[in-house]
Structure 1
Amino acid sequence: MTNDAGDEDKEEFVEVDPTSRYGRYDELMGAGAVKKVYRAFDQEEGIEVAWNQVKLRNFTDDESMINRLFSEVGLLRQLKNKNIISLYSVWRDEKRNTLNFITEACTSGNLREYRKKHKQVSTKALKKWSRQILKGLDYLHSSEPCVIHRDLNCSNVFINGNIGQVKIGDFGLAVTVGRNHSAHSVIGTPEFMAPELYDEDYTELIDIYSFGMCLLELVTLEVPYSECDNVAKIFKKVTSGVRPEAMKKVKDPEVAAFIEKCLAQPRARPSAADLLKDPFFDGIYDDDDEENADE
């Protein structure tokens, strides 16, 4: 589908998917350890999307990594929730040796960068964002089988800033667990990892701990444990139950108490569903709450 009018102003695609529905631009929206995310366009719907591309040659000797990437994509396809990034299409390009998947694009990028850009944010707005993250977690944790994200941090949460809508993304480390809801491998971003993760025996409640650290970062604009200059020091503090220095910067006692609930020992740590009922969120609603009530 082409339109010859104003061709000189037209932004060229550098790549299209096998169906010719999605076109990739040369503009990088983000890059992680494993994948690059480009701005792209869905010609059928007329909307901007994100084109995630993984160069598989980087992992030719690591079949487990390739399997994990495929499982992330398989997982994402099954997830349907307003607070989880949607996946539209996936394919492997044998010629370029890449794995490509098209996901929903969030207009304002990740929450870490967005928060840095907007220094003046009210507690009410932070609560609105937090509540949406918890709604996403509640959806994951109550799925059958239960999905544990395992790498929740502010760079893996995305926002449509024009409507204040928050969505959890980046499921590269996620795992599904059976009825006993326990998992065993040590994985994640050290500053956000719950102490029991290091014991290699944990449940979905590790995501609640990570959520507490996300909220701490959103409130203080400081990555937890930034006072530590290496992972070993973070590990020592986390496993000894020493809180990040950033906790001292939380001036609002209600916010500090709520974060502490999230960082409690696993047995005392509430679920996402419990936290959503917490008085902390009294009077905080999203635009979709009435919609959900009707579902």
Structure 2
Amino acid sequence: MSNKDVLPPGTILSERYEIVKRLGKGGMGSVYLAKDQRLSNTLRAVKQMVVEFIDMDQYTKAIDDFRREAEVLASLDHPAIPSIYDYFIQEGYYYLVMKCVAGKDLEQMLEATPGGIIDEKRVTQWGIQLCDVFQYIHSRNPPIIYRDMKPANVMYDEEANRIYIIDFGIARFVASSQANVTAIGTVGYAPPELFIGMVTPATDIYSLGASLIHLL
């Protein structure tokens, strides 16, 4: 991502969202902290997709993933899944406005923990909360498979003592009859069958187990 793509503080998006600062960046773009000027400057997370791809196929896939995230989040209502408030395109960039989750992701917490081992009781509590999330999305009709469960995709809000699953960009609805789904996941957390296109709710459970073991 080039400097020209970085939104400076004070930038106004969609005549409504004032950028405060950049919170982080990933392969598809950046996430910003913004104030919603129409709702008493309530803080929101604004995810920006920056289109920097080699060919049209990559461009199309990135847009599809971004739209899928908006579609998936808009269909869900669970306390551990950040709510989506808005979705828009401005000057060729795609934006997703979501609940702002304070805190660190579990990967960051692990790195900051002496010895690289988090307390078993705390990890167990997180595991129970995550099981509840997956039970919820897997019980949808058709089921939603997250496909990229790993510590870096789970935020922990210490004040609320609650975890949030973030980055639904590659989650998708999968019908029971659907096969050969595109294999996307993270090596070390994804089950072997994911890489040959076999995707079921068990995919997420395997990755959840691998993530919890990593934290311990």
Normalising TM by the smaller chain, what interval?
Answer: 0.7 to 0.9
Q: Count the aligned residue pairs.
A: 204
User: Which residue of 2 is the match for residue 112 of structure 1?
Assistant: 107
Structure 2 counterpart SS, 1:152: coil
Q: How much does 1:147 deviate?
A: 0.4
- Partners of 1:124 and 1:183 lie apart in 2 by 38
Whichever structure has more strand as a proportion of its residues is 2
- Higher mean alpha-carbon deviation, 32-41 vs 119-128, is at 119-128
User: Which residue of 2 is the match for residue 152 of structure 1?
Assistant: 149
Structure 2 counterpart SS, 1:190: coil
User: Which residue of 2 is the match for residue 63 of structure 1?
Assistant: 60
The structure with the larger Rg is 1
User: Which residue of 1 is the match for residue 214 of structure 2?
Assistant: 217
Unmatched tracts of structure 2, length 5 or more: 1-7
- Partners of 1:150 and 1:197 lie apart in 2 by 8
| Among candidates 139, 144, 153, match of residue 142 of structure 1 | 139
Contact 1:132 1:167 (C-alpha < 8 Å) held by counterparts: no
User: Which residue of 2 is the match for residue 36 of structure 1?
Assistant: 30
- Partners of 1:181 and 1:80 lie apart in 2 by 25
| Among candidates 30, 43, 47, match of residue 42 of structure 2 | 47
Unmatched tracts of structure 1, length 5 or more: 1-11, 220-295
Read off the aligned partner of 1:146 and give its amino acid letter.
Answer: P
Whichever structure has more helix as a proportion of its residues is 1
Give CA-to-partner distance per residue, 1:146-177, whole Å, 9 cap, x none. 10011111111111122221011101111101
Contact 2:180 2:198 (C-alpha < 8 Å) held by counterparts: yes
TM-score normalised by length of structure 1:
0.64
- Partners of 1:128 and 1:47 lie apart in 2 by 30
Q: Which has the higher contact order (CA 8 A, sep 6+)?
A: 2
**Would the alpha carbon gap of residues 182 and 134 (structure 1) be closer, same or farther in structure 2, given more than 3 Å must change?**
farther
TM-score normalised by length of structure 2:
0.85
Q: How much does 1:195 deviate?
A: 1.4
| Among candidates 13, 24, 27, match of residue 17 of structure 1 | 13
Q: How much does 1:17 deviate?
A: 2.8
Identity, % of aligned positions? 25
Q: How much does 1:130 deviate?
A: 1.1
